[in-house]
Every structure is written in C-alpha cells, then in structure tokens.
Amino acid sequence: MSLSLGGRSILQDVSLAVGQGEILGLVGPNGAGKTSLFEVLSGRYAAQAGRVSLAGRDVTSASFPERARLGMARTFQSPVVPAALTVGETFRATRKAYRPYLSAHDAEWAARLAHLDVDWERPAGTLDTFDRRKLLLACLIMRRPSVLLMDEPASGLINTEIDELDMIIRRLVDEYEIGVILIEHRLELLSAIADRVVVLDLGEVIARGAPEEVFRDPRVHAAYFEGAPDAREPHARETAWLSCSRSAG
Ligand SMILES: Nc1ncnc2c1ncn2[C@@H]1O[C@H](COP(=O)(O)OP(=O)(O)OP(=O)(O)O)[C@@H](O)[C@H]1O
C-alpha cells in the first residue's frame, strides 16, 4: 500500500497484517508514517495503491464509519473527550451512535473492562489523561470491535498506569480475541506485550518479526536511534484479520 499527501510520498509499498487475538507493535522514528498508516487502515486517508482487508472483506473503498460498523476501532494520540458531557452522557451518546442502540449494561461492561472507575456524573473534561483514555477505550469496546488500532496509548502515562494499560490490552486480546495494532515508542512495553513488531522508517517497512529479534537488529537500532536506515525489507505473511498490502491484487 502506498500513500502520497500534498505531492509527497509518505508510505511506499507497506504491507502488514494482524490476526485475531494478536498484538502487533508498530514502531519507527518520528515522521516514519505510523499515524498516516493508521489513517489509511481506518479509512480517513485513501491510499494511491494497494488494498485494505478486514475479516476477509476488501474494505479499501469503505469509509471510516463503515469500517467501524465492520469491527474496526481506533484511538488517537490525544485523548479528546466531549468537554460539555458527563461520563454518563458520553456513554449514552456512544450507545446511540449506531443502530441497534446498545444498552446501559453494555456501557457498564465496557467501563469495567477498561478499568474506568469514576463517578459517571463527572464532566468528562475533568478526567485526568489516563481516565480520558479509559473512557474513550470503553466507548470503543462497547461496540465489540474485532480490531483495535491504538496510537500511542501510553503517552502521558506514568509507569504504574502503563502497567495497568498493559493488563487492559492483554485482557482484550486474550479473552475477547481482539487484534490490536499498537503504535508505541517505548520498546520495553512492546517487548513485553507484542507478539510481533513492524518497524517503519521514512515510509517503508525496514524490519518485522518477534520484538526481541527485531530490537536487537543493528539496522533497526540505526534507523530508530540514529536516523540512518540501511535496509529495506519486502513482504507480508500470515492469516490476517486486518491487513494492508502493496497491490490491489
Ligand atoms: N496531511 C498531511 N499532509 C502532508 N504531509 C503529511 C500529512 N500528515 C502527515 N504528513 C507527513 O507524513 C510524514 C509521516 O507523518 P506521521 O504523522 O504519519 O508519522 P509518525 O510516524 O506517526 O510520526 P510521530 O511518531 O511523530 O507521530 C511526516 O513527514 C508528516 O509531516
């Protein structure tokens, strides 16, 4: 899959896939194209070449809301919550966003799963960063997605919160078989949690594989820490639940 924006090539021949109940880490230096890749996977940007498939279905032309209905969910780097609504009102608005409406029970279940333990009468805008992330995550998992794209969910969190986030994500994956793609700069978190990682640099995949192998790779080290990539790596694998590939075929 390839993407150009404003006449600039942002992603070139990128392919990746995540299976159900799997965590795929997506890493790379600033500006490597990680968020842009999420924009393509979630349908907010249209790639110039390639295809995206979800649960065996070609969703390349599907919009962001259509992909959400088909089971794709996405978090953003900044946990922006509706400041004018309380936590309870945020859940109510989310429950009514798609038909059939979800129940209050679904919201309570999702809040528990996301470890959101706050007064539902509180304005969402008064929550701290982690509780905002939990609220937004709960709103997503309420709809029981099959794939979750998480853009730097640990950003702004302290270590104990990151440990808790790790537990929340593992449970989503292990018990509910959600496939997670996680953009994360903390390599130690990915080493602990990811089944596989893909490394992007300057819009290209330069390595993929088990975290312990990939993070030991001197080429990855060079690209990630010194900004000097010297390797380009081709192909995709796997039994994919969500995937993007380089060609339309
Ligand atoms: N809408 C846009 N128009 C033009 N260029 C863009 C646009 N969005 C992103 N870019 C460029 O695409 C490149 C990749 O950006 P992207 O945000 O995807 O990288 P990233 O790997 O997520 O970086 P970071 O880790 O800093 O979030 C950057 O050079 C950025 O300036």
49 — phi, psi (to 5°)? -145, 150
Ligand 1 centroid to residue 31 C-alpha, Å: 5
Domain boundary among 107, 129, 144: 144
Ligand 1 centroid to residue 5 C-alpha, Å: 9
Ligand 1 centroid to residue 33 C-alpha, Å: 5
88 falls within a domain:
yes
Domain boundary among 144, 167, 201: 144
Residues 165 and 211 in one domain: yes
Ligand 1 centroid to residue 69 C-alpha, Å: 27
Total of domains in the chain? 2
CA distances from 203 to 3, 15, 41, 50, 232 (A): 9, 11, 15, 14, 11
Query: What is the CATH number for 208?
Result: 3.40.50.300
Specify the ligand 1 atom closest to the Cα of 28.
21
Residues 227 and 166 in one domain: yes
38 falls within a domain:
yes
DSSP states of 76-115 as a string? -SS----TTSBHHHHHHHHHTSSSSPPPHHHHHHHHHHTT
> Do the beta carbons of residue 202 and residue 209 sit within 8 Å?
no
Q: What is the residue with the minimal CA distance to atom 16 of ligand 1? A: 33
Q: What is the residue with the minimal CA distance to atom 2 of ligand 1? A: 5
Residues 192 and 221 in one domain: yes
State the pLDDT at residue 238. Answer: 44
- Rounded CA separation 135/117 (Å): 10
51 falls within a domain:
no
Ligand 1 centroid to residue 35 C-alpha, Å: 7
7 falls within a domain:
no
Structural domain span for residue 194: 17-46+62-71+146-236
Residues 123 and 179 in one domain: no
- Give, for ligand 1, the residue of 35, 184, 205 to mutate: max count of ligand atoms closer than 8 Å to Cβ: 35
Residues 104 and 223 in one domain: no
**Token pair 């209050």 in the structure block, residue:** 104
Domain boundary among 127, 144, 161: 144
Residues 123 and 175 in one domain: no
Residues 66 and 153 in one domain: yes
pLDDT in 10s for each residue of the chain, 249 residues: 899 999 999 999 999 999 999 999 999 999 999 999 999 999 999 999 999 999 999 999 999 999 999 999 999 999 999 989 999 999 999 999 988 899 999 999 999 999 999 999 999 999 999 999 999 999 999 999 999 999 999 999 999 999 999 999 999 999 999 999 999 988 888 999 999 999 999 999 999 999 999 988 887 877 776 654 444 443 333 467 788 887 654
Residues 85 and 199 in one domain: no
Flag whether the ipTM exceeds 0.90.
yes
Question: Ligand 1 pocket, 78 CB below 6 A?
Answer: no
Residues 112 and 205 in one domain: no
State the pLDDT at residue 248. Answer: 55
Residues 151 and 42 in one domain: yes
> Do the beta carbons of residue 207 and residue 220 sit within 8 Å?
yes
Taking alpha carbons only, the member of 201, 198, 217, 150 closest to residue 15 is: 198
Residues 173 and 118 in one domain: no
- Rounded CA separation 133/156 (Å): 10
State the pLDDT at residue 249. Answer: 46
